[in-house]
Amino acid sequence: MVKTICDLDGARRRFAAEIAGAGGQALERAFAEVRREDFLPPPPWTIYCDGAALTTSDPESLYRDVLVAIDVEKGINNGQPSLHAQWLSAIEPLPGERVLHVGCGGGYYSAILAALVGPEGHVLAYEIEPSVAALARRALAGSPNVEVREGSGAAGAFAQVDVIQVDVIYVNAAAEAPERAWIEALAPGGRLIFPWRYGSGEVTTLIARSQDAHPPRFAALTLGGVQFIGLREGSQSRASASDYAQALRVRELVLRSDRAPDDALIADFGWAWFSA
């Protein structure tokens, strides 16, 4: 049976209400407005649900809490909506804010971010895989507050960004260290969220710059375990947390220029370190 526009709109609204949860009306509205199928290759699609890979051409199947393959061979997926809803709730992009999206894939979550910051805000999205960046660029062509660039979004590419500071940095690739360029680009009150690959696993890591402290301070919080494709061309840490329990003790990112590592050291990145 062919799905009608009304069928899909209804499925998307129900999906948005379920996924957004306690994330608020703005987040639910963003998920309800953005068409997931527009940011994927043509069907049939491979979706991953309960550990199984299924093939479908039914767009209504996309409005479930599932990963959808963008490039099966390279392991590039449109990520799990419930995880991204949690991340978006944690960093709370606000109308008018400037966002850097690293590892944007096909651009679906870039579009969600763009809906949250509104027409007065701006999203700069990086994707290193050329064919996937082209998909994102096509899908976001009608969004004037989004720019897609082909590149890693790590230090080398980020050094060329013509935006001095951003309010939100949303990283969808696992990094062994927060990029120094990301931290330096955070505006007062800015937030960075990324998957930290600490050694034996990965954890969601949120870093928030103080609003008015001089020198700035960077509160940090590590949340549950995650699994992302690795950040290409990223920095390497010199030392890392040895296990999950230790990674969850992180409370601050400390610039080495402000304070040398002490007994609270969790991971040393050379220019900065995670403190318990």
Asked whether the beta carbons of 3 and 75 are under 8 A apart, the reply is no
pLDDT, tens only, 116-173 = 999 999 999 999 999 999 999 999 999 999 999 998 888 655 555 555 689 999 999 9
pLDDT band at 212 (very low <50, low <70, confident <90, very high): confident
Q: What is the pLDDT of residue 90?
A: 96
Q: What is the pLDDT of residue 4?
A: 59
Question: What is the C-alpha separation between 63 and 35, in angstroms, rounded?
Answer: 9
**Does the pLDDT value for residue 36 go beyond 60?**
yes
The pTM of the full predicted model, rounded to 2 decimals, is 0.94
In the structure encoding, which two tokens stand for residue 10, read together?
């209804």
Structural domains in the chain?
Answer: 80-275 (3.40.50.150)
**Does the pLDDT value for residue 275 go beyond 80?**
yes
Helix axes of 108-117 and 130-139: crossing angle, nearest 10 degrees:
40
pLDDT, tens only, 74-126 = 999 999 999 999 999 999 999 999 999 999 999 999 999 999 999 999 999 99
Task: Return mean pLDDT, the chain.
Answer: 92
In the structure encoding, which two tokens stand for residue 48, read together?
């991953």
pLDDT, tens only, 172-202 = 999 999 999 899 999 999 999 999 999 889 9
Q: What is the pLDDT of residue 200?
A: 83
What residue ranges in the chain does DSSP mark as E strands?
45-49, 52-56, 67-71, 76-78, 98-102, 122-127, 146-150, 166-171, 186-197, 202-209, 218-225, 252-255, 265-268, 272-275
Mean pLDDT computed over 68-75: 94
- Look up tokens 């610039």; give the residue: 255
Using left for φ > 0, alpha for ψ between -120 and 50, and beta otherwise, residue 24 falls in left
Question: What is the C-alpha separation between 157 and 215, in angstroms, rounded?
Answer: 26
Q: What is the pLDDT of residue 214?
A: 82
